[in-house]
Structure 1
Amino acid sequence: MSEDNRLTSAEETFVLAEQVLDLPVINQMIWRFDTPLDADRLKKVVDRLRSGPLTRRLHRAGAPFARDTWFAAPPSAPVLRIDDTIDPARLIEWLDHDIDREFHTDSGAPWTVSAVPLDDGGHVVAFTAPHTLSDGTGINAAFEAAVTGRDIGRLPDDNAVVPSRLHDVRDGARQLVAAGRGLAGAVRLTARNRKGRGAVDRRTPPPQPRRPAVIPVADAEDSAYALAAFSAEDWHHAANLRGGSANSLLVAIGVGLLEAAGRIDDVPEIPVSMPVTVRTSGDRRAIATIGATLAVGTDRSRYDDLRPIRSAARDALTRATDPDRDSDDLLRLITPIVRLLPRKVLRSLALRQPAAVLTCSNLGELPQDVATLGASTPGQVAVRMAVQHATVEQLRAARGGLTVWLSFSAGTAMLSVLSMDPDLWPNRAAVQRAITEEAAKWSLAPTFW
């Protein structure tokens, strides 16, 4: 029997966040058009989306240690909602309401598409779904197929059947073997590292900087965020002028936001997390992303020269995609072991891990069919994430920083900034103010949604 529809380790991570930590990670993709809403056209796209790779459900394994399985299933609840016209000033409030819905990967609506006309004659469309269902490139592929009418399949193996208990028992046994191999590999790696003690391992990223002692903000919001639109031409010009790329400028702006807030004082460099897609044509895994970690200097030379960040990004990408990494990366080696731990232990371990000080995700120029949703002209498209149920106290304990996204469409660079520190950036106004001040250092001017 094919095992291709079993969850990958990356997918299991997001299921863990949802089912064990009760902190589901939710993605939202947002289109803003200057034209009136064509409800009939949108309904056709959504109808096709319902029969695509995003409409899947989780089948719980029936044996210890076995992996859960994806299976194709129609939504058990409506997935399209069209609201009455709103003032554009209420757009963020409307988006927040949409992302606060409850999602469960094993029941209910797997995702939703919501639309609302604006008083200025335009309209907004929002796609909201658990990160467990898909990453950014998977969402793009699903929408591109829905707009064009192409059938790209639904699961990694559309011919596979839902596994029986016997199949689950066999998979559980395979996971025990994988854990044993991982343990042996971890022991060998530790022994090699001890023999080479004293040598500098340039592949090791810098440590997470300590969170500074700050006075708690009494009325801080959990996960404040802002959406800022820039001229794409200006964004590329600012990057090219300094020998960089759109991506290196994104990282530099993120570092600048942290520096201005005092989050990274007295450290020469910081680790920057960057998701890297490894999705190829026809790849219908929910998550086809690996993590890369850049070592980025905190000195202010970045305002004149982006080449060091660009080089660090290339080096990190090379390391992340190195086929030998599976035997040289301790985290990858122990992953098969960690997944076998009791859920209470997993919860305790996960909640003690610090959140990244800076995560940068660049979706690049969106495919034309995705940016237009079948219309004649593209819309401005932004992406963002939310961690549902995360409280201010939990965010403080996680010691995170910022998560930022960048996407291009309709001649616009859309920057999304999410605060993971409720005291340094306690509300949307604080995030917007920080973006405006940092953008001015690059001769960029944001327009906020």
Structure 2
Amino acid sequence: MTEMNRLTADDDLFWKVHRLYGPLLVVQLAWLFDEPLERATVQRFHEHLSYGFLARRVVTTRFPLARPWWAPALRALPLDWRTEPVRADRVPDWLAAQTDTDLDPITGEVWRLSAAPTATGGTVLSLVASHVAVDGGGGLFAVADALERLRADASPDRAASAGRLVGDTLSAGLLRAHIADAVAQVRAVAAGIRGAIRARAVHEPVRQPRPETTPVALANPFQPADLLVSVPAADWNRVAAAHSGTANGLMVGVAVGVLGRSGRVTDGAVRVEIPRSMRGLDDPRGNASTGVAVAVPYRHGERTDLARLRAATKRAVTAHDDPATTPPLQHLQPVQVLLPDALTRRFVRTSKAPICLCTNLGDSAKLVADIAGIRARAVVMRPVVRAGDPEFFRRAEAGLTVAYSGDGETVTLAVAGVDPDRFPDRDTLRRHVAAELTAWGLRPRFW
């Protein structure tokens, strides 16, 4: 009996969000080239993606307690090839517009590749994928595999590419597979409840309450303000080292400083969520990450102490990796998987979004910067929260997201202000980000 690639707890969470709100959460990988890309080249890249790690769909079952699983996609959205040039100052808007697309995990139409010429003779390229299908690490893995096959002039082939990891629908033994998974889920729930009880004295960093503020009059739906900003990697690393920190710590320090400048947080500890990749070699999971909550000291008018932040992060990661000190909610993930949509909807109404979410993809951008011998001037990957009711974001007490990606020469931050009253527009967000980076002695270049 072939082992099925069942949805993980993270996959399931994003799948539930998709069913309740549609493609609210997506990931985007974007390239900016100074030279033009040929349409035939991009089309071949698209074909490799169509048979690769991204080409997956959710297969559901009514068998009690058995989880959905991944199978090869039935179809893919066609290449979106534009001919109207994009001005340099409109690139961020063009990229944001590409995230507004219908994605369907049931058919496997979970990603879209778009390209357009730039007014300066180059190309801007965007790959948007549903967070149900992949996290940032999964998206980079899918793209790196497709680009490697493109460089090798290989034919699109699911069996020979990372598409082989997706899995397939069983032609026989399906009932036995569902029974086995249902039994495994019951055992996982029992173990999770026992673990949560043992860890009931473990507490995560507390959230600062959202400061009272006068609501800003905004359009509905509200699209969270976003921007892309680049800094020379040598400058970034030099500043981090000068303050006894790391490149990751500097990103977190900048994010907390931006929140402070906006008035979203006050003096004290700021809870920052830091995703950690758990992806292994030939890992079939769409989402293979976990989150660690770190209490980051903040004092108005001061830069974040990167040495203290480094120590706090190390303590949080060590505690998270020990089952005895893993927070109770982590143990209860198997319970979350079995919750029906009606109950999930009730929990979502009262759940809170991260005040600060900092995703670090390291220098992985250099793995995907070259397409058919043409190297991108800049590459960025970012999580994107699509437009919604401003009251939804206020109720969820959303704050700020920052994603770091580098290619060895340049560090690019993708910043999104999800608090509609603190970051009502891109100009406000840019003002806070520019002031914070300047305070660290960095010279930002905004896209």
Shared fold, TM over 0.5? yes
Q: Pairwise mapping of residues 339-350 of structure 1 onto structure 2 (< 5 A)?
A: 339-350=337-348
The residue matched to 2:440 in structure 1 has which SS?
coil
1:179 aligns with 2:178: no
Segments of 5+ residues of structure 2 without an aligned counterpart are 153-159
The corresponding residue for 1:277 is 277
The corresponding residue for 2:157 is none
Output the aligned Cα RMSD.
Answer: 2.3
1:232 aligns with 2:238: no
Measured in 2, the distance between the counterparts of 1:138 and 1:395 equals: 27
Measured in 1, the distance between the counterparts of 2:253 and 2:365 equals: 25
**Cα–Cα, structure 1 residues 237 and 290, in superposed 2: closer, same or farther, change >3 Å?**
same
Contact 1:14 1:24 (8 Å CA) reproduced = no
Q: Can you list the C-alpha shifts for 1:221-266, whole angstroms capped at 9, x where unaligned?
A: 4311111121222111111111111100000001101111111114
The corresponding residue for 1:215 is 214
1:168 aligns with 2:174: no
The corresponding residue for 1:429 is 427
Cα distance, 1:54 vs structure 2: 0.6
- Give aligned pairs, total: 435
The corresponding residue for 2:17 is 17
Q: Which amino acid aligns with 2:40?
A: D
The corresponding residue for 2:406 is 408
The corresponding residue for 1:102 is 102
TM-score by length of 1: 0.90
Measured in 2, the distance between the counterparts of 1:368 and 1:184 equals: 43
The corresponding residue for 2:51 is 51
The residue matched to 1:20 in structure 2 has which SS?
helix
Q: Pairwise mapping of residues 128-139 of structure 1 onto structure 2 (< 5 A)?
A: 128-139=128-139
**Cα–Cα, structure 1 residues 152 and 37, in superposed 2: closer, same or farther, change >3 Å?**
closer
Q: Pairwise mapping of residues 285-434 of structure 1 onto structure 2 (< 5 A)?
A: 285-299=285-299, 303=303, 305-322=305-322, 324=323, 328-366=326-364, 368-409=366-407, 411-434=409-432
Q: Pairwise mapping of residues 58-77 of structure 1 onto structure 2 (< 5 A)?
A: 58-77=58-77
Segments of 5+ residues of structure 1 without an aligned counterpart are 194-200
Q: Which amino acid aligns with 1:208?
A: R
Cα distance, 1:80 vs structure 2: 4.3
**Cα–Cα, structure 1 residues 320 and 378, in superposed 2: closer, same or farther, change >3 Å?**
farther
Measured in 1, the distance between the counterparts of 2:53 and 2:205 equals: 38
Cα distance, 1:382 vs structure 2: 1.5
Contact 2:233 2:410 (8 Å CA) reproduced = yes
Identity of aligned residues (%): 30
The residue matched to 1:218 in structure 2 has which SS?
coil
Contact 2:13 2:337 (8 Å CA) reproduced = no
Measured in 2, the distance between the counterparts of 1:43 and 1:77 equals: 12
**Cα–Cα, structure 1 residues 284 and 173, in superposed 2: closer, same or farther, change >3 Å?**
closer
The corresponding residue for 1:198 is none
**Cα–Cα, structure 1 residues 208 and 11, in superposed 2: closer, same or farther, change >3 Å?**
same
Cα distance, 1:89 vs structure 2: 2.4
Contact 2:73 2:107 (8 Å CA) reproduced = no
**Cα–Cα, structure 1 residues 278 and 269, in superposed 2: closer, same or farther, change >3 Å?**
same
Cα distance, 1:83 vs structure 2: 3.7
Deviates more, 1:398-407 or 1:333-342: 333-342
**Cα–Cα, structure 1 residues 184 and 305, in superposed 2: closer, same or farther, change >3 Å?**
closer
Q: Which amino acid aligns with 1:444?
A: L
The residue matched to 1:101 in structure 2 has which SS?
coil
1:244 aligns with 2:245: yes
The corresponding residue for 2:205 is 206
Q: Pairwise mapping of residues 434-449 of structure 1 onto structure 2 (< 5 A)?
A: 434-449=432-447
Cα distance, 1:23 vs structure 2: 5.6
Q: Which amino acid aligns with 2:54?
A: L
The corresponding residue for 2:156 is none
Cα distance, 1:332 vs structure 2: 2.4
Contact 1:112 1:129 (8 Å CA) reproduced = yes
Cα distance, 1:313 vs structure 2: 2.2
Measured in 1, the distance between the counterparts of 2:212 and 2:365 equals: 44
Cα distance, 1:93 vs structure 2: 2.4
Measured in 2, the distance between the counterparts of 1:257 and 1:239 equals: 17
TM-score by length of 2: 0.90
The corresponding residue for 1:257 is 258
Contact 1:88 1:118 (8 Å CA) reproduced = yes
The corresponding residue for 1:197 is none
Deviates more, 1:125-134 or 1:280-289: 280-289
Cα distance, 1:100 vs structure 2: 0.6
Contact 2:58 2:105 (8 Å CA) reproduced = yes
Contact 2:55 2:76 (8 Å CA) reproduced = no
**Cα–Cα, structure 1 residues 377 and 410, in superposed 2: closer, same or farther, change >3 Å?**
farther
Measured in 2, the distance between the counterparts of 1:232 and 1:341 equals: 44
Q: Can you list the C-alpha shifts for 1:341-400, whole angstroms capped at 9, x where unaligned?
A: 331111111221111110101111125340112334343012222233522110011001
**Cα–Cα, structure 1 residues 294 and 139, in superposed 2: closer, same or farther, change >3 Å?**
same
Measured in 2, the distance between the counterparts of 1:155 and 1:6 equals: 15
The corresponding residue for 2:162 is 153
Measured in 2, the distance between the counterparts of 1:155 and 1:134 equals: 15
Measured in 2, the distance between the counterparts of 1:392 and 1:141 equals: 34
Q: Can you list the C-alpha shifts for 1:405-429, whole angstroms capped at 9, x where unaligned?
A: 1111262211111111000010111
The residue matched to 1:65 in structure 2 has which SS?
coil
Q: Which amino acid aligns with 1:178?
A: A
Q: Pairwise mapping of residues 23-34 of structure 1 onto structure 2 (< 5 A)?
A: 24-34=24-34
Q: Which amino acid aligns with 1:181?
A: A
**Cα–Cα, structure 1 residues 20 and 219, in superposed 2: closer, same or farther, change >3 Å?**
closer
The residue matched to 2:375 in structure 1 has which SS?
coil
